Amino acid sequence: MALAPAITDLEQLKDHAEVARLLAWKATAVEGGKFDRGELSIHVERTVLREACIILKNDPALQYDSLSDITCVDWLPLAPRFEMIYHLFSTPTKKRVRLKVRLQEADASLDSLTPIWPGADFFEREVFDLFGVRFDEHPNLKRIMMPDNWEGHPLRKDYPVEGYR
Amino acid sequence: MAEMTSTPVLDAATDRTVVVNMGPQHPSTHGVLRLLLEIDGETVVRMMPDIGYLHTGIEKTCEAKFYQQVVPMTDRIDYLCPMTNNLAYCLAVEKLLGLEIPPRGQWLRVMLNELTRINSHLVWLGTHAMDIGAMTVFLYCFREREQLLRLFEAVSGQRMMTSYFRIGGVSVEPPLDFLDRVKTFNDTFPEKIDEYEGLLTQNPIFVNRLKGVGLLSREDALALCATGPTMRASGVDVDLRRDAPYSGYENFKFNVPTSTVGDVYARYLVRVQELRESQKIVKQALEGIPEGPVKADAPKVVLPDREKMKTQMEALIYHFKIVTEGFNVPEGEVYSAIESPRGEMGYYIVSDGTAKPYRVHMRSPSFANLQVLRKMCEGRLIADVVAAIGSIDIVLGDVDR
């Protein structure tokens, strides 16, 4: 089965209600998007992430009421270095959408989603622990997997995988 | 009140309360889970789970492995349902590759997946009942589990770390008598469930310990990212097998048990019903399993059969290349989620076009479900903490990865 090429043109992506809704709300909020292998990704501007999530959650046609997953990808040596990945799931429509936020290494911080979904707590702590991304307004931003006195963030690409620490 | 840290600090200002350490080595925490409980007499005022004791950095290790080498590591994440993990990973890579699995492979996957679900729920039921004080059920459950482990051993040579599902299908055709053995097990299983239920469902001691304990509302379940039976017992009707079918689940008929009560007893009932539904799915899979190959016809990705490898030059070359160099996966990213016995098991994989994954992230159901524990226990009795931990069915290997 041959793979269909990914759609990255925002004009074409407007067919998806999620993209259209966010663009109608604020044109600058959406930095880009991709529809690949049946999955929709939307690049969201860093400062509007939380508001975008609230819109997707409360819109009566979309109803992305549940947060599936939060993770991060380290694109070293590219800049911006970090890419935060949010997977939302709608329990009424059973659809998924992926939101992405790009972060510069020098200022790797963004709004916490815990005010919307308290369950984002552990996911954000995990990202903080393993990538060193900070979340503003998180109630308890501490290491979760590694010991409290650990140095470095193991899932970063420049973290040594061999030798003694 | 002083902020609770992972190192317990007693605050003299609140001298009514005491901080108690539960775990990491505690029989009812089902693994190395440490709970910090601030108690006032017998009442839990605050609770903080402290995890990470089993963290082995599997996500980091995956980045240094070929795609096919990641499969055995997925077994070790959730050691009670290895096949579910295998399936979630394989489906994600197959989605990246755009690979179709032949029907027989899919049906075998569904059948084994449901047997794994039964296996996992049996361990849950046994240990949960034992926490409450019903020792007998534990022995009954492990009696059936032993039969299941023998079935897994028959297909894969391993009782627990099966690694039977591979990218592109399953590793080999199961032995000739395998389907008969599954049928023998499956035909007798409903009466075994009756047996467990006879011991527990109407048992006044059991019911009184569980009813009204560990309440979780529908709103809290959604807000705290709970999934699986924990969420379904709180009235959210989502089952990915039905709502986002994968691996041919759309061919099977089954009910999704739910409850709107949201207490520990409701979660018990939902899981026991799931045992019956899984048995039905296995029955349908046995009746309708198609003939044909169990692996996809993709020589660059799927290892050739042993026989071919020893007799055909090309098969030998492909075998050598896959083992030594792996196979390149087209650039892209996928999130593939399936319904594990505990909830939504998701794999997020980023490929940069090489033979090794750039990033593998596991969204493990136990990790997310653990967050509801606090909601269930705060303000309740300390003895109910044990019941609540059992009812969310966490596996600490899955929490910590």
Cβ-defined contact of A121 to B371 (cutoff 8 Å): yes
Among all residues of chain A, which has the CA nearest to that of B366? A122
Residue B8: pLDDT band with limits 50, 70, 90: very low
Of residues A39, A42, A47, the one with CA closest to residue A21: A42
Nearest-by-Cβ selection for B371 from A87, A122, A148: A122
Torsion angle, alpha carbons of B42, B48, B52, B54, to 10: 20
Q: Which residues of B touch A114 (CB under 8 A)?
A: none
Q: Which residues of A touch B222 (CB under 8 A)?
A: 65-66, 91
pLDDT of residue B7: 43
Sheet architecture: strand order including B34-40? B18-22, B34-40, B43-50
Per-residue pLDDT tens digits for B218-244: 888 888 889 989 989 998 888 898 888
Distance, in angstroms, between B317 CA and closest chain A CA? 23
Cβ-defined contact of A87 to B363 (cutoff 8 Å): yes
Asked if B37 and B20 sit in the same domain, the reply is: yes
pLDDT for residue B191 is more than 50: yes
Asked if B276 and B340 sit in the same domain, the reply is: yes
Q: Which residues of B touch A87 (CB under 8 A)?
A: 335, 346, 348, 363
Distance, in angstroms, between A46 CA and closest chain B CA? 21
In a domain, B269, yes or no: yes
Outline where DSSP puts E strands in B266-369: 332-340, 343-351, 359-363
Residue B16: pLDDT band with limits 50, 70, 90: confident
Q: Are A129 and A153 in contact (CB under 8 A)?
A: yes
A39 touches chain B (CB under 8 A): yes
In a domain, B385, yes or no: yes
Asked if B249 and B367 sit in the same domain, the reply is: yes
- pLDDT > 90 fraction of chain B, expressed in percent and rounded: 30
Residue pointed to by tokens 């226990």: B377
Asked if B67 and B39 sit in the same domain, the reply is: no
pLDDT for residue B3 is more than 60: no
The parts of chain A modelled with pLDDT lower than 70 are 1-2, 164-165
Instruction: Please tell me the distance from the alpha carbon of residue B184 to that of residue B181, in angstroms, as a whole number.
Output: 5
In a domain, B343, yes or no: yes
pLDDT for residue B347 is more than 90: yes
Structurally, how many domains does chain B consist of? 2
In a domain, B5, yes or no: no
| CA B231 to mean position of chain CA atoms | 15
pLDDT for residue B295 is more than 70: yes
pLDDT of residue B10: 46
Asked if B224 and B331 sit in the same domain, the reply is: yes
Asked if B28 and B172 sit in the same domain, the reply is: no
In a domain, B228, yes or no: yes
For chain A, what are the domain ranges? 10-105
pLDDT of residue B39: 83
Q: Which amino acid is at B62?
A: C
Nearest-by-Cβ selection for B223 from A91, A96, A117: A117
Asked if B239 and B277 sit in the same domain, the reply is: yes
In a domain, B3, yes or no: no
CA count, 13 A, side-chain hemisphere, A21: 19
A8 touches chain B (CB under 8 A): no
A77 touches chain B (CB under 8 A): no
pLDDT of residue B11: 53
Cβ-defined contact of B368 to A155 (cutoff 8 Å): no
Domain A10-105 has CATH 3.30.43.10: no
Residue B281: pLDDT band with limits 50, 70, 90: very high
pLDDT of residue B360: 92
Cβ-defined contact of A87 to B335 (cutoff 8 Å): yes
Asked if B148 and B269 sit in the same domain, the reply is: yes
- CATH number, domain of B247, equals 1.10.645.10
Residue B41 carries which DSSP code? T
Cβ-defined contact of A123 to B368 (cutoff 8 Å): yes
Type and span of the H or E element at A85: strand A82-89
Mean pLDDT is lowest, of A26-30, B114-118, B365-369, for A26-30
Per-residue pLDDT tens digits for B127-179: 888 888 888 888 999 999 999 999 999 998 888 888 899 898 888 888 989 99
Range of the domain at B131: 58-400
Cβ-defined contact of B60 to A118 (cutoff 8 Å): no
Asked if B23 and B99 sit in the same domain, the reply is: no
In a domain, B7, yes or no: no
- pLDDT > 70 fraction of chain B, expressed in percent and rounded: 96
Of residues B270, B339, B338, the one with CA closest to residue B125: B270
In a domain, B245, yes or no: yes
**Does residue B21 or residue B5 have the better pLDDT?**
B21
The pTM of the full predicted model, rounded to 2 decimals, is 0.90
Asked if B27 and B166 sit in the same domain, the reply is: no
Asked if B139 and B180 sit in the same domain, the reply is: yes
Contact residues, chain B to chain A, C-beta under 8 Å: 5-7, 51-52, 55, 57, 59-60, 64, 95-96, 98-100, 222-226, 236-238, 243-244, 330, 332-335, 337, 344, 346, 348, 350, 358-359, 361, 363, 367-368, 370-371, 400
